[in-house]
Structure 1
């Protein structure tokens, strides 16, 4: 049922996606994308083809693909910025968009990653990966350490095998050398 009652009309205070003004600060992101893209393309030529003809594309293909993709993305983003388009902030249910970072959490997460870097050679990825997942979950508010350790163990052992068997990239086994 429709009515012509003005009280039934909903209004929003959202700004349109196109504001007409240019945010030149976003061009810094474009510059970073261009530098990364050029670096990847230039450094790709230093890659030595170590495969015995088993890979038809060679080891340079993926790096070139990503480097060119970054340059294309930078070009498209530049056009978008110069046209005055701006991305709107996503309104979260429980996120204060005006608030700053919670620095104790950031410091704890950085310390956890640094501890992981220090212990990974001795303990190995399977153990430190599980501790990294469980510790990160605890820092951001989870209070179920047994479940977090179990999930972390499954993810870290699974990723260890995915890298070692699937990709041929050995991650440090640490104290579990010979067991994994």
Structure 2
């Protein structure tokens, strides 16, 4: 006996919403001035990249919603199930602490270290139990971002790793 595939309308709404946000962002970025000024990349590059990513994710989520629901989503987590949701207060605490630490320390220890700590605390909030690995991943993510924003866009971020560098 074959299984019937039903459309999950709440999940489809999430995918369509991301498509709309991506389209609005692309429309806005298209109207940015193309003049690069003193930076390597124009101001439209990052918004267009984010718009493209949102469009891709929205398309994939919409496809999953019409082909049986989000893949890798437990039935208990399905928004269409209508059951009561369990809050994750510990996860919220860790992510909130990460944001607060970032805001308090970014000027003292620099963008890269503060953002790496934010990443590690957010990962802890999502269940990671390996803080050193998470800080390492955070460093690997924030170093290229620092260089992209400072060299590519010519933005002035707080120092690389504190006032000494």
Match of 1:142 among 129, 148, 163: 129
Q: Which has the higher contact order (CA 8 A, sep 6+)?
A: 2
Q: Which runs of 5+ in 2 are unaligned?
A: 78-84
Give the alignment's TM-score, normalised by structure 1.
0.55
Per-residue CA deviations over 1:75-97 (Å, capped at 9, x if unaligned) read 66546644x43344367xxxxx6
The residue number in structure 1 matching 2:16 is 31
Classify 1:26/1:48 alpha carbon distance in 2 versus 1 (closer, same or farther; 3 Å).
same
Take 2:138 and 2:60, find their aligned partners in 1: how far apart are those partners?
41
The corresponding residue for 1:7 is none
| Ranges in structure 1 where 5+ consecutive residues have no aligned partner | 1-15, 92-96
Cα deviations across residues 54-83 of structure 1 (Å, max 9, x unaligned)? 97x96546644653664576466546644x
Structure with max Cα Rg? 1
* 1:104 paired residue number: 90
Pair 1:132-2:118 in alignment: yes
CA RMSD across the alignment: 4.5
Structure 1 pair 127/46, CA: closer, same or farther in 2 (3 Å)?
Answer: same
